[in-house]
Amino acid sequence: MAPSRERACQMPFPRSAFATAPLIRSGHFGRLFLLRCTLLLDLALLLNTESGPEAFLGYGGAALLVLAATNMLLLAGGLDLTRRAGFPLVVATTDTLLSAIVIFSARIDGPEILFLFAMVIFLVALGSEMKRIVMGTVAVAAVYWWLGTHYRQEDGARMLAAYLGRVTFLYCVALYFGYLVIDARQEKERYESKERERRELRTILDIIETATSSLDLHRVMATIVKKICEVIQTDRCSVLFLDKSPDRGWVIASSDSPEVDMLPVDLRKYPEVQEAITTRSSVIVDDIENHPLMEPVREKLRAIRFSSLLVVPLIFQDEMLGSLLLRAAKRKQAFGEEEIRFCQTVAGASVSALKNAMLYRQVRMEADNHRSTAEKLRNILENSMEIILTTDPEGTITDFNRSAESTFGYSRDQVIGRPITELVATDMERRDFLAKLRRSGTILERSTAVRRSDRIIPSGAVRTGAW
């Protein structure tokens, strides 16, 4: 039964019937396919010119057939095939071997063409730009012409025809293999760039996670310098925080000395940091030996063999907190734009959490100071020969020292939380004591009868005061 018109229009057609032209027109695939066709044509002309049509029945013809078949496979595989990892290397190796087989099969007099083919392949392997590869091929062709005219006695017309055919082949080899090699290098650079971006992103995420999950300033800073050194080649990465004094700072963490914490430094010995503070922007010193900014400290840096520096400011809103300081001695080149941008991203992503960690450290230090002061006061109270007890504004006892325990006969635990008036012997003295305490908040000195655990101590034996 014949399919309906609507169904027939929806029937799939072979991909090659419609996809070939767009594939050839696509930039990368089109150039590769056309250059390979040109190489195949030049090899066929070379084989026919040098050995005649019967040569196509030998190894040379078989090699050309393999080239043609793989070209069709390339066309069928399309862009997906050319984008696979290692594709340029596999194709270049295969085509080099097939081209060498064709050259051997051509039975050209003398080893010149094989030698020139090897020379062009060598130029392709060393060349980083197509322009240089072509110029090298021009030089090889010129040498070949000079050798042919001076050392070989051949008919001029015949030599010219052979020369043009062989040089055309060499140019085709240079263009085709040069394109493969440059494409492979560019693909490698793209892959390395993506890997670097992924590694930097993972590093930034790790830094943010550490900075937001911990208020330990030294731990956060040590993680940051460690992660930066994993991404950037540097001999020392430090985090420096500024002091209230403009000439003083503190090294919170350093990659080469993990134990460093709150190390004081004189900023006058760090002109690059002072420059970053003044300009509030990154400072890059590519060459310490020739940079005018480093003149005051050049001898010192030369002694420790640093060659380049990078300073990235840490700015929270409008407040300059400090800076990242990177120093390098073993680098072959200065810090690049991508490395600088990475450090700036790290600084921007972590500065808010760093501010919180700094505030936490300040609060903790103040709390430790208050705790120390309270402990000193308590030691004074406990060891004083005077009777000392403390109350809240309502007269409830909150502390009771040892002299008070000895005088009143009560332990500290027995009286804490009890009204102080329970220690006053008579109701009238209780009312009078509380009235004066509430009215003025202070009783400098007063003779009062007080109650011990076992008896009453008469007025005059104990003098009391409250404040």
pLDDT tens by residue, 319-362: 888 889 998 887 777 788 888 888 888 888 777 777 776 677 67
Q: Do 262 and 116 share a structural domain?
A: no
Containing 328, the helix (H) or strand (E) segment is strand 319-328
pTM, two decimal places: 0.51
Token digits of residue 24: 């050839």
- Band of pLDDT at residue 467, cut at 50, 70 and 90: very low
Are 67 and 149 members of one domain?
yes
Q: What is the mean pLDDT of the chain?
A: 75
Alpha-carbon separation of residue 459 from 245, 441, 462 (angstroms): 60, 22, 7
Domain-located, residue 205: no
Query: What integer is the mean pLDDT of 197-204?
Result: 81
Predicted pLDDT of residue 156: 56
Query: 181: helix, coil or strand?
Result: helix
- The answer to whether residue 10 sits within a structural domain is no
203 domain residue, yes or no? no
323: β partners: 240, 313
175 and 63 in one domain?
yes
Residue of higher predicted confidence among 141 and 291:
291
What's the half-sphere exposure (Cβ side, CA atoms, 13 Å) at 361? 17
Name 312's bridge partners.
Answer: 324
The amino acid sitting at 61 is: G
User: Considering only CA atoms, which of 428, 331, 445 is closest in space to residue 339?
Assistant: 331
- What is the average pLDDT across 162-174? 79
Task: Name the most confidently modeled range: 77-81, 414-418, 440-444.
Answer: 414-418
Same domain, 405 and 336: no
Note whether 53 and 164 are same-domain residues: yes
Q: How many domains does the chain have?
A: 3
In sequence order, the 6+-apart residues with CB closer than 8 A to the CB of 277 are 242, 246, 267, 313, 320, 323
CATH of residue 438's domain is 3.30.450.20
Task: List the beta bridge partners of residue 238.
Answer: 254, 325
Residues 223 and 179 in one domain: no
Name the band, by pLDDT with cuts 50, 70 and 90, for residue 311: very high
Q: What does the pLDDT average to over 6-30?
A: 44
Residue 306: what pLDDT? 82
pLDDT value at 466 more than 50: no
Higher local confidence (pLDDT), 306 or 431: 306
* Domain assignment of residue 265, yes or no: yes
188 shares a domain with 49? yes
Rg from Cα positions in the chain: 44
Considering the domain architecture, whether residues 292 and 244 belong to the same structural domain is answered as yes
Residue identified by tokens 């009143």 is 408
Phi and psi torsions of 317, nearest 5° = 55, -115
How many CB atoms sit inside 10 A of residue 121's CB?
A: 19
pLDDT digits (tens, 9 = 90+) for 213-250: 777 778 888 888 888 888 888 888 998 888 888 888 88
The Cα 306–Cα 328 span in angstroms is: 5
Q: Do 57 and 154 belong together in one domain?
A: yes
Q: Does residue 418 lie in a domain region?
A: yes
**368: helix, strand or coil:** helix
Q: Residue 423: what pLDDT?
A: 72
Over range 382-394, report the average pLDDT. 74
Whether the per-residue pLDDT at 65 is higher than 70: the answer is yes
CB atoms within 10 A of CB 420: 22
Q: Which residue has the higher pLDDT, 466 or 457?
A: 457
Work out the pLDDT band at 429, boundaries 50, 70, 90. low
Q: Is the pLDDT score of 465 beyond 50?
A: no
For the chain, the first-to-last Cα distance in angstroms comes to 113
Does residue 13 surpass a pLDDT of 50?
A: no
pLDDT digits (tens, 9 = 90+) for 400-415: 888 877 777 888 888 8
pLDDT at 130 over 60: yes
Domain assignment present for residue 208? The answer is no
* Lowest mean pLDDT across 114-123, 446-455, 457-466: 457-466
Looking at the fold, whether 356 and 393 belong to one and the same domain comes out as no
- Calculate what percentage of the chain has a pLDDT beyond 70: 75
β-bridge partners, 443: 466
Do residue 28 and residue 168 come from a single domain?
yes
CATH code for the domain of 326: 3.30.450.40
Residue 136 included in any domain: yes
Q: Look up the domain containing 350 and give its range.
A: 214-364
Report the C-alpha gap between 247 and 74 in whole angstroms: 68
**Residue 207 located in a structural domain:** no
User: Do 299 and 253 fall within a single domain?
Assistant: yes
Lowest mean pLDDT among 137-141, 245-249, 366-370: 366-370
Asked whether 281 and 311 are in contact (CB, 8 A), the reply is no
- How many angstroms separate the Cα of 75 from the Cα of each of 27, 96, 376? 14, 20, 88
pLDDT digits (tens, 9 = 90+) for 253-286: 898 888 888 889 998 889 999 999 889 899 988 8
